[in-house]
Amino acid sequence: MKYIYCVLLILISNNLVGQVITEELESEIKRRVELEINPSFSIGILLPDGTTEFYGYGYFDNNKKQPDSLTLYEIGSVTKTFTANLASIYLKDSLKKPLSAFFIDIENPKLDSITPYDLLNHIAGVPRLSNQFSPHNWLNPFNGYSNEILKEELQDLNPDTSNFWSYSNFGYSILGRTIEKVSGKTYDNLMGGLLHDIGMDNTLLSVPTEENQKIAQPTNIGTSNSNWDFTGPSRYAGGLVSNTRDLLSYLMYQKQNNPLFISDSLQKPFQTRVPDLGKDKLFYQEGWFVLKPDSTTKILLHNGGTGGFISFVGYNRNTELGVVVLSNSVNVVDDLGINILYPTFKLNRPERTIAYELADDIDAGNKDSIVSIFDNLKSKNYPNNIIDIYWLERYHFGKGNYSISTQLSDIMVQELPEDWEVYDLKGQNLEQLKDYKNAILAYKKALKLNPEMEILNDKIKRCTTLYKHNAE
């Protein structure tokens, strides 16, 4: 991992230069590549007349291969729009039925208050991830998820009944499993059939294992990361692997078949209360975010991210312009995609944060004073993003580098002293280091901050047993 990064712009077609890819936008894209914020970009444009244009920037693997319209990227939560499409096909007569009608073998009366429609629109009151979600490998967190695990989670599900909009990966896993139960089909049949109907011949249901498949190298803060293998019903929340060419075909399919892309005949979208793209301007409706940057413009969009990829798919209903932006990084690219669709939208200027420098120091062998290095850089007002620290901690935890990840968890505790999750992470590290006494203290602190997270009680019991055993 080097800061100085050689960049080569591959312009597949120059018909749109100065029109869609403006000089300012291209300069920002190239800056992010040079700083290793995004090693590569694959961008596709759908023009109003149905023609397409493609652009590639940077390199997508260690062999310095240049991305094109067929280069594969994990698309993460953009997969949810496909699951929403399946729901419109198979659940159109069942959207308002309670979940208890589909999961008849689960004795949880709370399922009576949730419908597939609620899950589709993220208003079911289920958490972003199940409270029982505890991956064996944080480098590949959804690998091993199964119908059996989902069943156990539904048995204990206690949804928030306030009916506020709240984004949920867990909810779309439930929705996908519901579609299976109604249709009698498997994920491969359902999603594979939809991809075939659209003509997405180069999109995959999971990460490819064949060496000849041209998939980008997943990265995060300049460090090579792992692919994410979604299994079981988690695949409906984020499992697809695709490219700009196929995703533009998908946008064309939506333009021709999805009422959201055509008219305002459907009910009013749900207010998300997400401020990132402008206060009271971002809504959600049946699988898609709806951005209203002004009183007349409607942009349909969805983004996605995994451990080493980020994606954006968007369509401006007013101009009939569509865009796909894919990158092998976790740095969000929404601003780039929206700027193409709505040129007055302001571009961000993400910078290398402290986590990038910590990653460089760790790679260089400076592994024993990570907290001191962090404090020194912070005192110099170096850009800081605790999410980057979190990713670096999970990366080394997943690699089994606990002496490193525990120091990174110390930084998070230092920066977020009232956040239950950082104490949970700290406890996980101490447990792996067999420091059960302090792991118990960390878990108890997490539980005090979030008493509803019952899985913490299990961790405390486990560490208490191990601590007593060692004492004997």
236 Cβ contact list (under 8 Å, min separation 6): 79, 80, 83, 172, 173, 175, 176, 177, 179, 187, 191
Strand partners, 72: 215
Q: Is the pLDDT of residue 243 over 70?
A: yes
Instruction: Write the CA distances from 14 to 17, 21, 147, 170, integer angstroms.
Output: 5, 10, 48, 42
Nearest CA-CA partner of 1 in 420, 423, 364 = 364
Q: Is the pLDDT of residue 456 over 50?
A: yes
- Give the three-class secondary structure for 32: helix
Q: Is the pLDDT of residue 10 over 70?
A: no
Q: Is the pLDDT of residue 1 over 60?
A: no
What would the pLDDT profile of 299-350 be if each residue is shown by its tens digit? 999 999 999 999 999 999 999 999 999 999 999 999 999 999 999 999 999 9
- The count of C-alpha atoms lying within 13 angstroms of the C-alpha of 117, restricted to the half-sphere facing its C-beta, is 13
Nearest CA-CA partner of 130 in 233, 279, 206 = 233
Domains of the chain (ranges, CATH numbers): 9-79+200-341 (3.40.710.10), 80-191 (3.40.710.10), 357-471 (1.25.40.10)
Higher pLDDT, residue 63 or 267: 63
Please answer whether residues 179 and 99 qualify as being in contact, where contact means their C-beta atoms are separated by less than 8 angstroms: no
Quote the pLDDT of residue 9: 34
What would the pLDDT profile of 259-293 be if each residue is shown by its tens digit? 999 877 656 889 998 887 878 899 999 999 999 99
The CA angle 143-147-152, to the nearest 5 degrees, is 105
The CA angle 57-60-382, to the nearest 5 degrees, is 75
How many whole angstroms separate alpha carbon 413 and alpha carbon 24? 39
Quote the pLDDT of residue 266: 57
How many whole angstroms separate alpha carbon 64 and alpha carbon 415? 37
- Give the three-class secondary structure for 275: coil
Question: Average pLDDT of the chain?
Answer: 92
Q: Is the pLDDT of residue 163 over 80?
A: no
Quote the pLDDT of residue 212: 63
pLDDT band at 211 (very low <50, low <70, confident <90, very high): low
pLDDT band at 18 (very low <50, low <70, confident <90, very high): very low
State if pTM tops 0.95: no
Q: Is the pLDDT of residue 400 over 90?
A: yes
Quote the pLDDT of residue 15: 40
Nearest CA-CA partner of 150 in 166, 126, 115 = 126
Return the minimum-mean-pLDDT range out of 59-63, 100-104, 240-244, 283-287.
59-63
